[in-house]
Amino acid sequence: MKTKTLLLDTLPSWYRLSWNASQNALQIHIAEAYIAALPPIPDNSPLRIFAEKKVSGDLFASYSLDLTAKQFGFNGSVRRLDATDPKTGFVSFSVALPRVHTSTGMACQECGGTGESDDHRCFHCNGFKLEMKYDWYGAYSITESLQLLFWLLDIRLEAEMHTEVPQLFTLHLCAERSMHGSSMGGHLGKDALKMLRCVIASGKERCVNVERRITEALTQSWQHMMAKCDYDNHNLRVEIREDANLFITCPGDAAGVYTVNENWRASYDKGCDISCHNMDNPTQALACLAGLAVFSEELEKEWLLWNE
């Protein structure tokens, strides 16, 4: 029997993403049938060994690999919401984005709390007037938890799942404290690529609206985590190209996430890879995930429109 793959086949959805703008939260929705079919994670599993190593090294206080529990990942970073949606059969999990770049409450020593230096915005505090600090602990706790979650969701199960929208893409995420330590990638399914082509075929206005929605999530998530800095805005960009490729750019050294669709022919019925460039810290990964979540929402809309 032929093994079906996301790149070549239509698969029922076992997880999807969405963005909750009112709560600055990434949401992961997982099919209840998938959770029920997941076998227990054995003690000698690489997944559990990885998690145990993180906890024993005093990086985190606790962890959970149980998707039926109220919390998943390190330090309860992924929170299971109460009810299963009876219409879709999906269980929702919420990840509240952390504040990474915050004030100490003390006046900036460089500008004396004026926000200006030599008639220009203070370079040290960027006009915030306060001493600023970075707290990466919560951000790494989240990305390392999502790394575990995406590993778990990469397990192919023989579960009966019937969903209105097919699986659109799969992701994996690196979470290390080093250069390229927040790299991410995955696969964009053949149905998702087909819907992206439909968005493009709908005309420039539709593409611009999708780009705008993704940019709003990208910008909101970044500014929530890193504080609002005007000079970051030009690095928060989204582009849907006519060759059916998506590019999401975030602040950094040409940092971002993109699709690798190398065949422009609409008749080419195959998905493509998702890749990234210079993703060095967790805020870059989390902001791009917020953008991908909105991209997922727009592809779902397109699928439902074309399959009414």
pLDDT number for residue 36? 93
Predicted pLDDT at 151? 95
Specify which residues 84 forms β-bridges with: 91
Percent of the chain beyond pLDDT 70? 97
Q: Would the CA dihedral through 274, 206, 294, 283 be positive or negative?
A: positive
pLDDT at 1: 59
Q: With bands split at pLDDT 50, 70 and 90, how would you rate the model's confidence at 242?
A: very high
Confidence label for 221 from pLDDT (cuts 50, 70 and 90):
very high
CA distance 11 to 163: 9
- What is the percentage of the chain residues whose pLDDT exceeds 90? 68
- Tell me, yes or no, if the pTM score tops 0.75: yes
pLDDT higher for 168 or 158? Answer: 168
Maximum distance among all Cα pairs of the chain, rounded to whole angstroms:
72
Distance, CA of 253 to CA of 118 (rounded, Å): 28
Closest by CA to 19, choosing from 183, 248, 205, 207, is 248
Q: What pLDDT score does 267 carry?
A: 60
Read off the pLDDT of each residue in 95-107 and give the average, rounded to a whole number: 93
Mean pLDDT score across all residues of the chain: 91
Across the range 74-86, mean pLDDT stands at 89
In the chain, the amino acid numbered 42 is: P
How far are the Cα atoms of 213, 270, 277, 303 from residue 194, in angstroms, in the given order? 20, 9, 24, 9
pLDDT recorded at residue 86? 80
Reported as a pLDDT band with limits 50, 70 and 90, residue 269 is: confident
Least reliable range by pLDDT among 162-166, 169-173, 197-201: 162-166
pLDDT in tens, 105-146: 899 888 888 888 887 888 778 788 888 899 999 999 999 999
Average pLDDT over residues 44-49: 91
Looking up tokens 């422009």 gives 264
- Identify the pLDDT of residue 109: 87
Q: Where are the domains of the chain?
A: 15-98+137-306, 101-134
Exposure string over 147-181, b if 16+ CB within 10 A, otherwise e: bbbbbbbeeebeeebebebbbbbbbbbbbeeeeeb
Q: How far apart are CA 3 and CA 62, in angstroms?
A: 37
